[in-house]
Amino acid sequence: MNRMPGQGGLSFRKMHGAGNDFVLIDSRGREAMTTPALARALGDRHRGVGFDQLAELRGEAGGPLILDFWNADGTRAGACGNATRCAAALVMEETGRDRLEIRTARGELAAERRDGAIWVNMGAPVTDWREIPLARAVDPAHLPLAGGPVAVGMGNPHCVFLVADAEAVALSVRGPEVERDPLFPDGTNVEFVSRLGPDRLRMRVWERGTGITLACGSGACAAAVAARGRGLTGRRVAIVADGGELQVEQRDDGVWLSGPVAHVFEGRLGAGFLAGLA
């Protein structure tokens, strides 16, 4: 990927993980490029490129990879598991390495290639109400909301509803209602999850700052943590999202995530498009 904007605009790459789609901007070796205005313009699926999240790669040559995440509405995201896997796959392809350390707002994340699949350690789940964060002292394992959902922090706040049938939920209605509930001072991602069988879950997702998405990596991790906490699954579980299947494994060192990664295309934003953001 050509990392310098040049006269023709700004280069980018489009990738997705199980239909969870991203724009990747490579700012390694130079100043960060992304602003709220650029994220909003790029996230517009009619006038821009369109994405669920934008990931900007930063860092100096020979140093650790740094990732910043943005939502389609121009707000910052604290974590994005599938975008982290996409960025890790890109850098591993460039360098031939099978293991990376990645710095994010979530902290230091390890990524590794195992049997051709990219796995990312998304860290330990956050279960303290202050750190998720919640607005007041309640039990995160049984929130005082209809349906008794579970709150889990995975770099982003998540509210996981364990339901009989995730397909029956009016996601476009319930998602934004829960995202903006006063219990979540920073808003929340919302997952509706049902058990398909032993260590197999169905998940539908509403992401804060974006809306309905085909998959969510940190959401899959939160769903796995919530389901295991309720005794529905073991340590390793398959998560069936709208866009594909993700694998989550809860280990002593953190919650590991894997799934498909696809490179879609590379492009360059026109100078006129960028000038309109000034």
Residues identified as active-site:
80, 216
Give yes or no for a cis peptide into 157 (omega within 30° of 0).
no
Distance of CA 67 to the CA centre of its chain: 12
Backbone angles phi, psi at 222, to 5 degrees: -65, -40
Q: For tokens 């939160």, name the residue.
A: 222
CA distances from residue 59 to 40, 100, 110, 165 in whole angstroms, order as listed = 24, 13, 16, 44
Where does the chain have alpha helices with state H?
36-43, 81-95, 171-179, 217-229, 271-275
